[in-house]
A and B are shown apart, each in its own frame.
Chain A
Amino acid sequence: MKEKFDCIVVGAGPGGTAAAYTLAKAGLNVIQLERGEYPGSKNVQGAVLYAHSLEKMIPDFRKDAPLERFVAEQRIWIVDGDSYVGTTHRANSLNWQTADRYTILRAQFDRWFSKKAQEAGVLLICETTVTDLIKENNRVIGVRTDREEGDLYADVVILADGVNSLLARKAGFRRDILPHEVALGVKETVFIAQETLENRFGVVDNQGVAIEIVGTITQGMLGTAFLYTNKESVSIGMGCLLADLKKKNIPPFEFLESLKNHPAIKPLISGGETKEYAAHLIPEGGYHGIPQIYGEGWMVVGDAAMFVNSIHREGSNLAMETGMLAAQTVIEIKKRGGAFNKEQLSLYRDKLENSFVLKDLRKYRKFHSVFRTNTHFLTTYPQIVNSSFFSLLKVDGTDKKTKERETFKNILKKRSLTGIFQDAIQLWRATR
């Protein structure tokens, strides 16, 4: 007997679960397949969860979601050698109930989110890898799994299978991923006694700190590092473009070690115990990297469609938003009795165009190529900023005016005025 569903969702990350949840809430018959032992067992994130998309689906998620801390303080550090210059932003008006971002552990969060979807009526099958899409007359009509007699059929298939999206590639919906379109993220979860952690970071009552780090720590590679506080652990890691890592020829875990040993970081994690080491790719293709996202009987959401805003380090919220929009597309088409063909499913693209997802990605569409071609942003400027602060702040009997003059001269030694001017314009244009 052929089992037929309204919709099959592949993957139980935030993208797939948002889609499945939304469909089930609307009363559709949804099956979701996940290759991991449980949702989240294969997933890695920094991880800051931006609440807005989740809140649309589950307004009271703060009541029982496994959130670690709310981000009360955000720091941005520009590091060079053994120093850093940074900004700190803390808003005391923020609290558990009103914060827009929380730190999470994905293995726990994904499981919780999926439980909500199952309560809404989603049939979730774990430990099942989808190996292929089943097509008939060039139309996707179902999926093949690695279970015996594991073929399943549906009106429409939503691919939420993450950055590698083997399925979309196998089916010819997209080409191979190129090394400049993805970053490799490596991460450790380091446990520290809660009291020590709170004292170190100056936080109380579920407050948390998120530190984003740029500069020479990535040795000129396009990438950033991060340190986020959880309840009794910190997540520390960095992500660098594969194309750049390839040029550098250094093992990724050695970079991670150098980050952990940076004099600015080391005291923050000292005495901590690493309990997990993780690695995952991050889509960095931006607007121009977005593949085909819908066709005859199928749609792609989240990382599988490269929906990541790497400038703002947002991904899981884009996955949830696009999952929701794909589901709403299915619901609307179903309501009007339409077919799930390419023409009808183009509604998904319209919805995306009207959402923050494509608006943001379009805004930063040139950003990547600028940073890839102009390495001053990654090496020269962090050096300039750090050495300028160093000499300006140093009290050594030199009068301030002379100091200013010297600092300025030193800056110009590293980058000419015209150069700085051109870089500034380039940067400005890239974010228009």
Chain B
Amino acid sequence: MIQVEEKLYQNRYRVDEGRPHIKIKDREICSLCSHKICTVLCPAGCYRKGTDSAVSLITDGCLECGTCQVICLEHKNILWEYPRGGYGILYKFG
């Protein structure tokens, strides 16, 4: 099976260390969420299901598409901003 990391590996990023631009507001809500659709639909696999029904988020590979924010509409549990100017994904081709 293809791993998304292999795909992301090709991309160029400038990571804003220690300043993630997306945050989960309330981790408790994720634990209670039944479908955890963010863990499936994020094209960069930034959201992962933990063993204890928690959701972890690592934004380093984020493609800044906006999907997670749109699909979490029922819980509105994602604080979504753009990275600081100059940081994040840097497309070479687009």
Contacts and interface: CB of A to CB of B under 8 A. Distances in A.
A176 B73 contact: yes
Interface stretch (A75-83, A91-99, A276-284, A288-296): A276-284
Given A186-B43, A257-B2, A249 B37 contact: yes
B25 interface: no
A138 to B, nearest CB: 24
A39 to B, nearest CB: 10
Contacts, number: 135
A45 B91 CA distance: 11
Q: Which range holds the interface residue count of chain B?
A: 35 or more
User: Which of B14, B82, B84 has its CB near the most chain A CB atoms (within 10 A)?
Assistant: B82
Nearest to B67: A184
B43 to A, nearest CB: 4
Contacts of B94: 40-41, 43-45, 47, 105-108, 110, 276, 278
Nearest to A45: B94
Contact of B83 (A47, A129, A257, A281): A129
Nearest to A165: B66
A353 interface: no
Contacts of A184: 41, 43, 65, 67
Q: Which range holds the interface residue count of chain A?
A: 35 or more
Contacts of A37: 14, 86, 90
Q: Is the interface of B mostly helix, strand, loop or mixed?
A: loop
Given A37-B14, A279-B63, A280-B63, A252 B93 contact: no
A246 interface: yes
Nearest to A191: B93
A42 B14 contact: no
Contact of A246 (B37, B69, B91): B37
Contact of A242 (B2, B71, B85, B89): B71
A40 B92 CA distance: 8
A281 B93 contact: no
A220 interface: no
Contacts of B55: none
B92 A275 contact: yes
B92 A146 contact: no
13 contacts: A36-B90, A37-B14, A42-B64, A47-B94, A107-B94, A126-B86, A127-B86, A166-B80, A249-B37, A251-B41, A279-B67, A281-B65, A281-B70
Please list the 4 inter-chain residue pairs (A to B) with the smallest Cβ-Cβ separation, ordered nearest first: A127-B86, A106-B94, A279-B43, A277-B7
Given A250-B40, A251-B45, 20 more contacts: A35-B83, A37-B14, A41-B91, A44-B91, A106-B94, A107-B91, A146-B84, A166-B82, A177-B66, A184-B67, A189-B93, A242-B67, A242-B71, A246-B41, A253-B45, A274-B7, A276-B94, A277-B63, A279-B63, A280-B65
